[in-house]
Structure 1
Amino acid sequence: MTETPNAGPPTPLPAAPAPPTVSVVGPGEGETVLLGTTRMRILEDGGTTGHRLGIAESVIAPHTPGPPQHRHAGHDEGFYIVSGSVRFTVGDEEHDAVAGTLVVVPPGAPHTFANVRDEPAVMLSTFTPDPYVRYFRELRDLHAGSEAVTPEAQLRLMHRYATEPAEAPAPGPS
């Protein structure tokens, strides 16, 4: 029987990857962002999902107008109505979305939403990928600043997140 010479210490095995982190956000937890009469609770800012997905819950006060109609070039948005009713305007069409309705807005589609009813509406929103969550944080900070918020300042913020007013032409193919 022939012995094999010792070739040195064995090569260490690569370290096992860290297990995925599971995020659990309970009632009343998460980051609260106040945007006028709308209270947004950021449930997932992308930190757990590799920045593939952001999720927020919004409570929209009665008779709250939404943002100007706009379009996003960089992300999809999903809106699930938990309670109440939210009016979505997509181009020239209006859709009254009641509890249990899902609205998905792909990049380039003009849209806005508002609560035109007498009761609050609760809406769960998704952003894929997640950077638009940071937009809401910056919008909050812009409105909390000591100077009046100008339309130009709001447009600059929108541009940083690949968002344009709906009057602008739809983005062409890249």
Structure 2
Amino acid sequence: MTEAENSSEPQTAPAVSVVRPGEGETIVLGTTRMRVLEDGSRTGHRLAITESVLAPHTQGPPQHRHARHDEGFYVLSGTVRFTVGDEEHDAGPGTFVLVPPGAPHTFANPGDRPAVMLSTFTPDLYLQYFRDLRDGLGDGRRTLTPQAAVDTMSRYATEPAAGLTRG
């Protein structure tokens, strides 16, 4: 038996996280509103989860590649267009897209209605990228230049997918 098993003191289970509607950190980037459901602090930084609302006709980021994390997207409502290299995939509610490290990708909402998706980041590395972009925009008082976005990406093991367009 281990020392913990021999102990007469009860062991404490890790705290369960409950994030209710309207709770959680909010990150606004242009026409996209993100709500942080798990920032990685309760998962040993293995997982972060966000809910994103993409306004109609949101273009999304330029195609890019992550070197150190997987990114998952589960579409809750609307249609999200994922571009992976030269391929486009229109994803409706109930569709899950998993992007492994190294895969060029982007997403957009080409429709006339908002689209909502749940996103996962494993590990949680990339969540801070969104905070840095938000902070660089200064609550909408500044415009994010393409070079500033690339510089911020580079701090999170991410780079533009050179030569690829959004589609």
Could you tell me the TM-score, scaled by structure 2's length? 0.88
Q: Residue 152 of structure 2 aligns to a residue in which SS? A: helix
CA displacement 1:88-132 (0-9 Å, x = unmatched):
000000000000000000000000000000000000000000021
> Which residue of structure 1 aligns with residue 61 of structure 2?
67
Q: Residue 36 of structure 2 aligns to a residue in which SS? A: strand
Q: Residue 94 of structure 1 aligns to a residue in which SS? A: strand
> Is residue 2:30 matched to residue 1:24?
no
1:124 aligned to 118, 121, 139, which one?
118
CA displacement 1:68-104 (0-9 Å, x = unmatched):
0001001000000000000000000000000000000
Cα distance in 2 for partners of 1:67, 1:17 equals 46
Q: Residue 131 of structure 1 aligns to a residue in which SS? A: helix
Cα distance in 2 for partners of 1:148, 1:125 equals 25
Q: 1:148 to 1:121 in 2, by over 3 A?
A: closer
Cα distance in 1 for partners of 2:95, 2:115 equals 12
Give unpaired runs (5+ residues) of structure 2: 1-5
Question: How many aligned positions are there?
Answer: 157
CA RMSD of aligned residues (A): 1.8
> Which residue of structure 2 aligns with residue 86 of structure 1?
80
> Which residue of structure 1 aligns with residue 145 of structure 2?
150
Give unpaired runs (5+ residues) of structure 1: 1-11, 169-174
Using the TM superposition, give the Cα deviation of residue 147 of structure 1 relative to its aligned residue in structure 2, in angstroms: 5.0
1:160 aligned to 152, 155, 161, which one?
155
Cα distance in 2 for partners of 1:14, 1:136 equals 46
Using the TM superposition, give the Cα deviation of residue 155 of structure 1 relative to its aligned residue in structure 2, in angstroms: 1.3
Cα distance in 1 for partners of 2:63, 2:10 equals 48
> Which residue of structure 2 aligns with residue 35 of structure 1?
29
Could you tell me the TM-score, scaled by structure 1's length? 0.85
> Is residue 2:5 matched to residue 1:47?
no
> Which residue of structure 2 aligns with residue 141 of structure 1?
135
Aligned partner letter, 1:163: T
More displaced 10-residue stretch of structure 1: 89-98 or 139-148: 139-148
Cα distance in 2 for partners of 1:138, 1:82 equals 26
Aligned partner letter, 2:21: P
